[in-house]
Amino acid sequence: MIKRIGVFTSGGDAPGMNAAIRAVVRTAIYNNLAVTGIYHGYQGMIEGSFIEMSRRSVSSIIQKGGTILKSARCLEFKTKEGRQAAYDNIKAQGIDALVAIGGDGTFTGANLFSQEFDIPVMCIPGTIDNDLYGTDYTLGYDTANNTVIEAIDKIRDTASSHSRVFFVEVMGRDSGCIALNAGVGGGAESILLPEVNSGIDTLIEELELAEARQKTSMIVIIAEGDKNGGAYNVAKIVKDKINHLDIKVSILGHLQRGGSPSSFDRVLATRMGYTAVNELIKGNSRATVGMRGTKMVITPLEEALNNKEFKLDDELLEIANIMNK
Amino acid sequence: MIKRIGVFTSGGDAPGMNAAIRAVVRTAIYNNLAVTGIYHGYQGMIEGSFIEMSRRSVSSIIQKGGTILKSARCLEFKTKEGRQAAYDNIKAQGIDALVAIGGDGTFTGANLFSQEFDIPVMCIPGTIDNDLYGTDYTLGYDTANNTVIEAIDKIRDTASSHSRVFFVEVMGRDSGCIALNAGVGGGAESILLPEVNSGIDTLIEELELAEARQKTSMIVIIAEGDKNGGAYNVAKIVKDKINHLDIKVSILGHLQRGGSPSSFDRVLATRMGYTAVNELIKGNSRATVGMRGTKMVITPLEEALNNKEFKLDDELLEIANIMNK
Amino acid sequence: MIKRIGVFTSGGDAPGMNAAIRAVVRTAIYNNLAVTGIYHGYQGMIEGSFIEMSRRSVSSIIQKGGTILKSARCLEFKTKEGRQAAYDNIKAQGIDALVAIGGDGTFTGANLFSQEFDIPVMCIPGTIDNDLYGTDYTLGYDTANNTVIEAIDKIRDTASSHSRVFFVEVMGRDSGCIALNAGVGGGAESILLPEVNSGIDTLIEELELAEARQKTSMIVIIAEGDKNGGAYNVAKIVKDKINHLDIKVSILGHLQRGGSPSSFDRVLATRMGYTAVNELIKGNSRATVGMRGTKMVITPLEEALNNKEFKLDDELLEIANIMNK
Amino acid sequence: MIKRIGVFTSGGDAPGMNAAIRAVVRTAIYNNLAVTGIYHGYQGMIEGSFIEMSRRSVSSIIQKGGTILKSARCLEFKTKEGRQAAYDNIKAQGIDALVAIGGDGTFTGANLFSQEFDIPVMCIPGTIDNDLYGTDYTLGYDTANNTVIEAIDKIRDTASSHSRVFFVEVMGRDSGCIALNAGVGGGAESILLPEVNSGIDTLIEELELAEARQKTSMIVIIAEGDKNGGAYNVAKIVKDKINHLDIKVSILGHLQRGGSPSSFDRVLATRMGYTAVNELIKGNSRATVGMRGTKMVITPLEEALNNKEFKLDDELLEIANIMNK
């Protein structure tokens, strides 16, 4: 029977991670389990960076961006020796189950670790990229979308005042989720996504069409992982082809990762943290928590890791086109 | 075959209504349909308050709260004469199908009107209360949740500085959705909901428990429709029973209805507007658009009106308790 | 020579207080002085509620609303015995100078205490009401103005959608500063202020004028301390006189006190905290820090307490009228 | 006697320009003057792009970023022929006085034009850079500061979670006002300004000092016009010297220009617009409006253009150092 849960965040941070930590801690304590916080993810396991968690230690963190347990990427955990050291350390702490909050890499590590050392692990999908299988939404995605939308609204003010074309690059190395949402929600004239090989020609056509409609200002959203080489590069190519355009580039960057989590992310995080602990108590392991519709669901890590969920709704892609045609 | 769609907003306004209007207009025009905007909902049909809509007339409204077509409640439409006048007017405009954006009352009127005059109608659920059947989320609900959460975060600053107890009343005459979300997302110590007859005694117990845990500041969320008589009344009762508490009341009020829609509401509104028009084109009628999971769904108005969806997740109610225990 | 400064916040909390505490602590430590934080203002002195402050103890508080040192109103400090107990306690801590952050009552207490026990005290004006002599702006006033403006923007969305008149009550028991600013910045149709005895008749005239100009929605700002009896009462009187108006009332309440401080308040607080400590080091006492234009200024407490600064710019009152005429 | 005022915005747009346009229009109409809006600044004069302004045409713009009259930079106006064409056009419109809203270039053009054609002109300082003589604050500066502070708060969330150093570049080609304010208000560990030749060595020292104090995350603010070659370049140099640092760069870019104006900027804009029109009525010309302390002041354009006001408070520079030491 589980007596002490270890909780940690790993990989890129995302708004809502603190709310999830809080829910894990409070649900565990409510069920008479002790909780150890592990700093810096897998790195902290290896280095032995632990802290005892109480109800009070997670007070007033639900509204905070980032993660109070810090995060890191950890190469050493990819080695057998690293994982052994980690296991020895958490064993010494009396930790007999884990809740891992993070993305793809975090899940991979959790799965391997759980198999090798037969320790129960539940995962919570925390990444602004929304690129994990097993859930409609990952933690932090909604907040990041709001951050991006607010930035675009501001950029449109100045774009419109000066009749300019803005190329706005948003996060998403492999995933166009933020870009597509921002494109639709921000009313962008064109969107470039890693998943869709639209090419520059389509973009040029869309810009020319917008001009033909007497639009004087335009917003083009470009996902980080777009295959045309990033916002600066695309802007240069377009400028060469339609050189009367007054083009500016804006790379939104890391501010997309921060900020107080939205209502949606806070509630989602709280539900996920609660569910993760309850699943551990029920004896479940090597699985990830998710939300489908309005219900919590559980997916085996194996399944989650072997599937790539295409989260760009085909219909939404079509809608994006129609709205700006 | 449909040639001209009339679009209107009715009942309480909600953030995202403009984004839905925009999507209706642009999807219709893309499909070579004309669109007439009807001001003030059913009132405007009766009074003949119409405007021709173009792609440009919905430019730069996606980010705006409220509704550019205005809204109203209309008693006259409840009479046969009122509806006849409305029908004559829209007929004269060449309107041969309608998209109605609003809540329960709007749906009831739309259903009756469509039956009586055999005119196709599709509905879009727009209300911050999230109390409509046939969709996981209504338009405006997410934005209202964020507004409430931000207000609670601010109130907690001062509550915490002064060791005060705040009774915060949020919207929801019949629905505790906002209250429950705000309670979980805002980390409230207690929540009073219209759907749950918890009574003052439970509240008193929760406050005493919080005090026993050395909490010096507390937030109690009370839904407008709570059966204990509203925030001022509850505050008075509590003050009589635990009179050393320094209690303040805050009624958030109508600011919950306004504000620029969140990313979630903008995208949801756009999808709903698109879907409503496409369903009309396909020959569908007397139905409401909704989202289940990440997919658009259609529910007959009859079914939607005859069912009350209990949107308070039982698990979330339990979670709320555990988080603050 | 001063060796240890005690810092505290007292009276109503205001955004920026934490930034001021941070500046006091870091400036003092930079000058090789120790700092004791005193909880709950004068109450904490009497009860002996102290904490040693370091550079780290004020990390990451500049962006936080409220006050980490808590605040309270303290009747006991008005008695000689109370002040004696306070003095004995701070003496025992080695505190030989004080920085008091708060409003009118705080200044009065500080002045008396400093005289009675010959202890150097510098004051920092922290109140959202902007009603203190000796400074163009008090701490928290700018943030509160932004909070109010954002609320009015939201309310206008729904007012405009429903052709409603909103009576919005803002903080300010004796001071109409927030009301006047909100009225001008929010584009209100009428403003009721404690300092100006405009009466209901003027309000009725302004509303009728607005109607004559075909304005369908209106915002009336009412300061808490208005002599006509508060927003609910004024709304009732107006409703009796122009009964076709659809009137709603909104009391913004305590959310005006909270929230992350604006850039203006953070910088102002930092400058004030720095200046307060430097003045103590220079041997100054019984004075308040302030900003005139862009420069820090010092005013003796005696002078500050004996003068009531009329902060409502006459010209701004006239401008408010013209903008909405 | 003046009968018709032409109003325009020119140069880089800034939040609050719309509020200033609104105040110009309403003050003029209140004084029985007609108002013509001129699109795209000087360009619009030359091209004859005019619009009649009424009280209604400036309704609901006080809260909008950007400028409804659009802006542009205009080379043609630098030629005698361009200015003659502009004059002929505005004469044909019956415009006999101008209010110009913009920055340095706008003022230069206004001064020359007013001299050459003997037409009265009043200027309003609108630029986020705060780099104009004759006023404590330019329009848009306060809003930009808030935008930057919010971005830094978000970036700090992720910086702190990952123990990273962020180099954040903010606007200000010649002016470090935003950078210094953001540095102080955002609690930055180091600030690079165009006006202060601090060099990379000082930066390196400050980072090493911060590390010595066990700070694991740091924010460095770099003004666009810093002499060390921009954020990417500085980051590279620092990385070469302290290569264990995990450094990220964020260029905030044009979102700093947009957004709904702050309460401060709305009220300032309203006062400036009112004052500009009243000065024209009084017979004043070739001058700029400004605010000193809390009062409106007037400065001849000649004087404003011949003086460079050093707006970086020396004391604030020192404070910035002490806060982060």
User: Each residue of C20-36: pLDDT tens digit?
Assistant: 999 999 999 999 999 99
Which of D309, D310, D268 lies closest to D124 in space, CA to CA?
D268
What is the rounded average pLDDT of the residues B74-95? 97
Neighbours of D128 (CB within 10 A): 31
Backbone φ and ψ for C31, nearest 5 degrees, come out as: -95, 20
Q: C179 has which bridge partners?
A: none
Residues of D with Cβ-Cβ distance to C260 under 8 angstroms: 153
Say whether C15 and B151 touch across the interface (CB within 8 A). Answer: no
Say whether D263 and C315 touch across the interface (CB within 8 A). Answer: no
Dist CA B100 CA A244 (whole Å): 43
Interface test with A, best of D8, D39, D158 (most A CBs within 10 A): D158
Dist CA C169 CA C228 (whole Å): 12
Tell me, what's the pLDDT at A310?
A: 77
CA atoms within 13 A on the CB side of A76: 16
Dist CA D91 CA D86 (whole Å): 9
First to last CA, chain A: 60
Chain C contact partners (≥3 CB pairs within 8 A) = B, D
Token pair recorded at residue D269: 């804009």
Please check whether residue D43 is in contact with residue D167, taking contact to mean a CB–CB distance below 8 angstroms: no
Phi-psi region of A40 (alpha: psi -120 to 50; beta: other; left: phi over 0): left
Please check whether residue C135 is in contact with residue C119, taking contact to mean a CB–CB distance below 8 angstroms: no
D325 has pLDDT over 90: no
Token pair recorded at residue D310: 């050093």
Tell me, what's the pLDDT at C198?
A: 76
Which of C303, C320, C20 lies closest to C176 in space, CA to CA?
C320
Long-range CB pairs of C87-92, under 8 A, 24+ apart, other chains included: C87/C45, C87/C113, C87/C116, C87/C117, C87/C119, C89/C45, C89/C46, C89/C47, C89/C48, C89/C50, C90/C6, C90/C36, C90/C38, C90/C45, C90/C119, C92/C48
Residues 6+ apart with CB under 8 A from B79: none
What are the tens digits of pLDDT across the range D217-251? 999 999 999 999 899 999 999 999 999 999 999 99
Say whether C266 and D292 touch across the interface (CB within 8 A). Answer: no
Residues 6+ apart with CB under 8 A from A190: A183, A202, A203, A206, A207, A218, A220, A221, A324
Which of D106, D133, D143, D175 lies closest to D289 in space, CA to CA?
D133
What are the tens digits of pLDDT across the range B195-215? 887 789 989 998 998 888 888
B218 has pLDDT over 90: yes
DSSP C76: G
Annotated binding-site residue? A255? yes
Dist CA D267 CA C142 (whole Å): 11
**Which residue in C153, C158, C259 is closest to B157 by CB distance?**
C259
Distance from CA of B71 to the nearest CA of C (A): 5
Fold of A4-140+261-306: Rossmann fold (3.40.50)
Check A13, A96, A129, A226 and give the catalytic one: A129
Residues 6+ apart with CB under 8 A from D30: C322, C325
Transcribe D50-107 into DSSP letters. Answer: EEEE-TGGGTT-TT-SS-TT-----SGGGSHHHHHHHHHHHHHTT--EEEEEESHHHH
Q: How confident is the model at residue D64 (pLDDT cuts 50, 70, 90)?
A: very high
Kind and range of the H or E run holding B54? none
Task: Give the C-alpha distances (Å, rounded to integers) separating A239 from A225, B166, C101.
Answer: 21, 56, 56
Handedness of CA A318, A321, A323, A325 (dihedral sign): negative
Q: How confident is the model at residue C271 (pLDDT cuts 50, 70, 90)?
A: very high
Backbone φ and ψ for B197, nearest 5 degrees, come out as: -85, 75
Chain C residues with CB under 8 Å of a chain B CB are 9, 13, 15, 17, 64-67, 70-72, 147, 151, 153-163, 166, 248-259
> In the CATH hierarchy, which top-level class contains the domain A141-257?
alpha beta
Residues 6+ apart with CB under 8 A from D236: none
Provide the ipTM.
0.97
Instruction: Answer yes or no: A129 catalytic.
Output: yes
Token pair recorded at residue C324: 């909405």
Residues of C with Cβ-Cβ distance to D148 under 8 angstroms: 263
Which of D321, D323, D267, D298 lies closest to D122 in space, CA to CA?
D298
Q: How confident is the model at residue D213 (pLDDT cuts 50, 70, 90)?
A: confident
**Which residue in D26, D136, D184 is closest to C267 by CB distance?**
D184
Please check whether residue D136 is in contact with residue D291, taking contact to mean a CB–CB distance below 8 angstroms: yes
What are the tens digits of pLDDT across the range A187-219? 999 999 998 877 899 899 989 988 888 888 999
C325 has pLDDT over 80: no
First to last CA, chain D: 60
Known binding site: residues of D? Answer: 12, 22-26, 73-74, 103-106, 127-129, 156, 164, 171-173, 187-189, 213, 215-217, 224, 248, 254-257
Dist CA A293 CA A123 (whole Å): 19
Q: Where in chain D is the domain with CATH 3.40.50.450?
A: 4-140+261-306
Beta strands in A129-214, from DSSP E residues, in sequence order: 165-170, 190-192
Distance from CA of C210 to the nearest CA of D (A): 12
Transcribe B272-316 into DSSP letters. Answer: HHHHHHHHHHHT--SEEEEEETTEEEEEEHHHHHH-----S-HHH
Token pair recorded at residue B74: 């209309």
CA atoms within 13 A on the CB side of C88: 9
What are the tens digits of pLDDT across the range C50-88? 999 999 999 999 999 999 999 998 999 999 999 999 999
Please check whether residue C212 is in contact with residue C242, taking contact to mean a CB–CB distance below 8 angstroms: no
What are the tens digits of pLDDT across the range C293-303? 999 999 999 99
Please check whether residue B101 is in contact with residue B77, taking contact to mean a CB–CB distance below 8 angstroms: no
Residues of D with Cβ-Cβ distance to A147 under 8 angstroms: 154
Distance from CA of D282 to the nearest CA of A (A): 31
Tell me, what's the pLDDT at C29?
A: 98
Residues of C with Cβ-Cβ distance to B155 under 8 angstroms: 254-255, 258
Check B13, B129, B226, B265 and give the catalytic one: B129
Q: Where in chain B is the domain with CATH 3.40.50.460?
A: 142-257
Using the structure block, give the residue that is written with the tokens 């806060």.
D323
**Which residue in C136, C271, C293 is closest to D319 by CB distance?**
C271
Say whether D271 and C319 touch across the interface (CB within 8 A). Answer: yes
**Amino acid residing at C120:** P
Residues of D with Cβ-Cβ distance to A65 under 8 angstroms: 154, 157-158
Tell me, what's the pLDDT at B310?
A: 77
Say whether B182 and A263 touch across the interface (CB within 8 A). Answer: yes
Kind and range of the H or E run holding A112? helix A104-117
Q: How confident is the model at residue D210 (pLDDT cuts 50, 70, 90)?
A: confident
What are the tens digits of pLDDT across the range A50-62? 999 999 999 999 9
What is the rounded average pLDDT of the residues D313-317? 93
For the domain spanning B142-257, the CATH number is 3.40.50.460
Tell me, what's the pLDDT at D264?
A: 98
What is the rounded average pLDDT of the residues A151-160? 96
Tell me, what's the pLDDT at D191?
A: 95
Annotated binding-site residue? B292? no
Q: How confident is the model at residue D308 (pLDDT cuts 50, 70, 90)?
A: confident
Interface test with D, best of A69, A147, A158, A250 (most D CBs within 10 A): A158
